[in-house]
Structure 1
Amino acid sequence: MTTSEKLITELEKVLSGQPWYGPSIYEVFDRVTFDSAYEKPSHAAHNVAEILLHMLSWTEEVMDRLNGMSAGMPTSGDWPPVGAPDEKKWQDWIDDIKLANVNLVRTIRDLPEEQWDTPIDDKRGDEPVTTHAELVYGFIQHQIYHAGQIAILVKIVNG
């Protein structure tokens, strides 16, 4: 199995399959109602909508890095503002992250095998250099972490 195939298998399992730790990321998203997406329990750093946009922005940044762009902050920002609650925007963001993940899988599939162990383009200087493969594995861990936060927020908000 190639590195691309391994990464795609792992990513798809976490997104919509049956990961060993519990519900997939899309299952967690399905549990979020529009009302709970914008509610921020006291002492919570972020609400679900903010976390979803953060996850989306980093999906786009990882694709940029895999496509040869220099490492940096996501174009849309680390924590993009969500604005006022809007049910259409919320559903669009769910669709956007799913489409971004389809595009990420395509990007992973298209990366040549010999490139997986090479460093990404990172001119920031003080940051550790990571390979293309480490980037994707770290991204998967990042998404799992935030899906866990969403699952907890949904339980808090919905009781």
Structure 2
Amino acid sequence: MKTADKLIQEFEKVFSGQPWYGPSIYEILDRVTFDSAYEKPSPAAHNAAEIILHMLSWTEEVMDRLNGMTAGTPSSGDWPEPGAPDEQKWKLWISDLKLANANLIRTIRDLPEEQWDELIDDRRGEEPVTTHAELVYSFIQHQIYHAGQIAILVKIVNG
């Protein structure tokens, strides 16, 4: 099986399939109501809206890196500010995340097999240390982590 096929299989399992750890990311997001999206159980915690924007920013950054751009902080920021609660924005962010993920899957599918073991263009440190394949696996882990945060927030806020 080609690297892209393995990555896409793992990606789809985690986002919309039946991952080993529990509900998929999209199942978790379906449990977030607009009313709970902006709730913070603690001033130090992020709310679901902030986490969704963070996840979306990093989806776009990973896509940029796979498309040959130099690694950096996402162009929309690491933790974009969601602003005042807005139900239309909330729905749009969920749609945007799903669209960005679909675009990322296409980017993964189109990357030539020989590039998966090449290092990404990362000039922030002394030497690049992450391959294209490691980047995608790490991204999937990142998204699982934040989906777990959202799942906990939903339980806290909704009881």
TM over 0.5: yes
**Residue-by-residue CA offset, 1:95-117 (whole Å, 9 max, x unaligned):** 00000000000000000000000
User: What is the distance in 2 between the residues matched to 1:75 and 1:143?
Assistant: 18
Distance 2:50 2:19 in 1: 24
> Percent same amino acid among aligned pairs?
82
Q: Letter of the aligned partner of 1:83 in structure 2?
A: G
Task: Structure 1: give runs of 5+ residues left out of the alignment.
Answer: none
Unaligned residue ranges in structure 2 (runs of 5+): none
| Contact residue 25 and residue 144 of structure 2 kept, 8 A | yes
For 1:122, the equivalent position in structure 2 comes to 122
Aligned-partner SS, 1:83: coil
RMSD, aligned CA = 1.0
Kindly tell me the number of residue pairs found equivalent between the two proteins. Answer: 159
**Paired residue secondary structure (1:54):** helix
Alignment of 1:40 with 2:40, yes or no, is yes
**What TM-score results when the alignment is normalised by the length of structure 1?**
0.98
Structure 1's consecutive aligned runs of 4 or more residues displaced over 4 angstroms after TM superposition are none
Shift of 1:14: 0.3
Contact 2:121 2:128 in 1 (8 A): no
Equivalences for 1:99-114 in 2 at 5 Å? 99-114=99-114
Per the TM alignment, residue 44 of structure 1 is displaced from its structure 2 partner at its CA by: 4.2
CA offset at residue 45 of structure 1? Answer: 1.9
1:78 maps to a residue whose letter is D
Distance 1:48 1:127, change over 3 A: farther
Q: Which amino acid is 1:92 matched to?
A: L
Q: Deviations over 1:108-154 (max 9, x none)?
A: 00000000000000011257610000000000000000000000000
Taking structure 2 as the reference length, the TM-score comes to 0.98
Q: Which amino acid aligns with 1:33?
A: T
